[in-house]
A and B are shown apart, each in its own frame.
Chain A
Amino acid sequence: MAHHDHGKHGGKRYWLDDKRNVAKVFYALIAVDVLWLAADFFYKKKAEFDAWGGWADGGLGFYPVYGFVGAFLLVLAAKQMRRVLMRPEDYYERRRDGGAS
């Protein structure tokens, strides 16, 4: 079974334990994204639709914008859903009269 290792310097240090390296991963992701965006300039896209003035889905940067905005709004909307939907972990286990079992 699992045990907890609370000693900060007791275990082996991993590359990702360093916050600067996590930042490096983030900047690398941005660099990769810039490259993917740049790719739009170098090929002829085979579009299926010509909606929104031809931007969906043949336009420049349609997929990057859709992916970023979609995922961003998804999380913000889901976060708001918590206000209505979130309940304590033992919500369904509680006795019917409302008291904790």
Chain B
Amino acid sequence: MVDFLLSPPLLLMFGSVALAAAPRNVLPRTVLRALLLALPVWSLWRFWGLDFGDHAQFDLFGQTLTLMRIDGLSRIFAVIFHLAALIGSVYSFYVKDNFQPLVGVFYAGSALGVVLAGDLWTLFLFWEIAAVSSALLVWVRRSGRAAGAGLRYLGMQMVSGVMLLAGIVLLRHELGAAPGWAEFRDLTGLLEDGGLGFANLGPTLILLAFGLKAAFPLLHSWLIDAYPESTPAGAVFLSAFTTKFAIYALARAFPGQSELIWIGGLMTAFPIFFAVIENDLRRVLAYSMTNQLGFMVVGIGIGTELAINGAAAHAFADILFKGLLFMAMGAVLYRVGHVNGSDLGGLYKSMPITTGLCIVGAASISAFPLFSAFATKSLIMSAAAHEHYLWLWLVLLFASAGVFHHAGIKIPFFAFFHHDSGIRCKEAPRSMIVAMVLAAAASMAIGLFPLAEMWFGVANPFYELLPYPVDYEVYTTTHVITQSQLLFFSALAFATLMRTGLYPPELRSVNLDADWLYRRVGLRVWDGVAAACVALHRAGYAVAGRLAARALATAQRHLGPQGFLGRSWLTASMALWVALLLAAYLVVFYWRLG
């Protein structure tokens, strides 16, 4: 029982709840924070002591559920989730209130529950807990916009949860028994007859549920909408978990699902256009996240060992460098009050350390040699090339140039350089800087490990963490030169566009995206339906009113004081009428007898 409660997902969740419940006078803030940081460290230590296989099984409603099933794929996600919880907590200490790190660690625990789940029911349970706890991190901004965005966010997460639940129930119906590990790890196998669609509705719904959280095209706008509305720390936590456990779930259940290749390809390409014209720099990062998730989805779609390794490795690296970029922009938001590219510039003078660390994040996401994505994204690119997907490879190459353009250059350039906006502020708070240094160091280590392996023969601990054995050389002459050429000439394009004035200026604006469909069109349709109902009700009411009025007038005419039936009659005429009536009665009587 103790082992069960101290299993990593529950340890983080119950631990953070216990710390939140502890009275302030019992636990001073510093002690609480020390314990909060100790939670992920303790949890990671406990996790590391567990062998591959099933752990912490329990019975619920007559079914045996497996809280943790550890293998190579779940291990790498579990490790990075612990690191993300730790770094995010350190970062969030810039505010006195401990609400954000407490919710963040709880959310990390639920995310851990998803990647360690040994069956689909357990996965569903943590899937929902993660949805609700992460929504709190949007609402914590306590602004009107955040309230709306958080509600829309939660709504979309619930749609994912409902699809997942419906998918599992349908699957159970089709199989005649609860879907177990064998089905969970190979839903692609169940799709072999008929493929995706109504013929295989269960697995299809599960794929869509995963896809919604992995920000598939048209299902992605909750991410763009909600993450940038959160607080600096909230966005850091949010950027780490939900999308990445969706990637894990796809890699677990649908490796080699061919549709994922073009879906992922689309995801790498379309967001970069939006990112170029987006003014809110954290929203640029959200688009950039969709683009990076696209690379991972492509890797899962290709499905070879190299590609799955690439997807897992890139998810790991993305949590670090995307977290770092969100942290840097969060620091700007905290110090300046906004992150609008149109109103920033020249901040390197006030925030030199943040600038430097942001550039490390920018170089990492752009896959510069020596930085992390160079050692992770290239696994996916090479997998695409090895399988001879020429067009896909060209799209990925274009997306790589585009990533550098919007995340590598645009983010640091418009925030910290460009023209001097005249804004003078303090450097980021110490907790933010410590967290950024941790993320930057971890991110650089991933890029440098292969070099250390090549030059000094030191084993690469990062590649050893990947699900499959790695036989891949990152630092080849061709790779270093071609990647540098791609990036430096992309930079030249940016510089040329800036100097010639062709580059579109940053403008205070919003750009329509898929969420327009429900925030505007859907709302209009809803308004239309509501207005039609009101009109119908009014028209019905009017017709009924007119009919009632007419009936009343008729009754008035006949039964009223002057009406034929209502007015006073003379006694003589009454007697005449009675006589006539009796006469008529007599006639009828004789006629009937006759």
Give 1 or 0 for each of B397-417: 1 = CB within 8 Å of chain A CB: 110011011000000000001
B481 interfacial by beta-carbon distance below 8 Å:
yes
B385-A49 in contact (CB<8A): yes
Contacting B at CB under 8 A, from A78-101, are: 78-79, 81-82, 84-89, 91-93, 96
A81-B273 in contact (CB<8A): yes
Flag the segment in B18-26, B464-472, B501-509, B568-576 that touches A.
Answer: B501-509
Give 1 or 0 for each of B322-362: 1 = CB within 8 Å of chain A CB: 00000000000001110000000000111000000000000
| Min CB gap B535→A, angstroms | 16
B490-A46 in contact (CB<8A): no
A92-B520 in contact (CB<8A): yes
| Min CB gap A74→B, angstroms | 5
Q: How far is the CA of A33 from the CA of B337 in the complex (A)?
A: 38
| Min CB gap A2→B, angstroms | 4
By beta carbon, the residue of chain A nearest B477 is A43
A residues less than 8 Å from B272 (CB atoms): 74
A residues less than 8 Å from B482 (CB atoms): 45, 57, 63
B residues less than 8 Å from A14 (CB atoms): 348-349
B390-A49 in contact (CB<8A): yes
A74-B486 in contact (CB<8A): no
B422 interfacial by beta-carbon distance below 8 Å:
yes
Contacting A at CB under 8 A, from B249-275, are: 272-274
B477-A16 in contact (CB<8A): no
Set A29, A43, A46, A89: member contacting B492, Cβ < 8 A:
A29
Q: How far is the CA of A45 from the CA of B513 in the complex (A)?
A: 41
B residues less than 8 Å from A16 (CB atoms): 348, 417
Q: How far is the CA of A32 from the CA of B489 in the complex (A)?
A: 9
A75-B510 in contact (CB<8A): no
Main secondary structure of the interface of A (DSSP, over half): helix
B residues less than 8 Å from A71 (CB atoms): 401-402, 404-405, 489-490, 493-494
Give 1 or 0 for each of B480-518: 1 = CB within 8 Å of chain A CB: 011111111111111111010011100111111100000
A46-B493 in contact (CB<8A): no
B residues less than 8 Å from A9 (CB atoms): none
A96-B523 in contact (CB<8A): yes
| Min CB gap A16→B, angstroms | 7
Q: How far is the CA of A61 from the CA of B434 in the complex (A)?
A: 42
The winner among A1, A40, A63, A84 for most chain B CB atoms within 10 A is: A63
Q: How far is the CA of A76 from the CA of B510 in the complex (A)?
A: 19
B493-A91 in contact (CB<8A): no
| Min CB gap B133→A, angstroms | 26
| Min CB gap A49→B, angstroms | 6
By beta carbon, the residue of chain B nearest A3 is B424
Contacting B at CB under 8 A, from A46-69, are: 46, 48-49, 51, 56-57, 63-69
Going nearest first, the 6 A-B pairs with the smallest beta carbon separation are A2-B425, A48-B385, A71-B493, A78-B276, A67-B489, A67-B486
Where the two chains meet, the residues of A that have a C-beta atom closer than 8 Å to any C-beta of B are 1-6, 11-12, 14, 16-17, 26, 29-30, 32-33, 36-37, 39-40, 43, 45-46, 48-49, 51, 56-57, 63-72, 74-79, 81-82, 84-89, 91-93, 96
Q: What would 11 more interface pairs be, CB under 8 Å, given A43-B477, A45-B478, A74-B401?
A: A1-B336, A1-B337, A2-B425, A16-B348, A16-B417, A29-B495, A36-B488, A67-B487, A75-B405, A76-B502, A81-B511
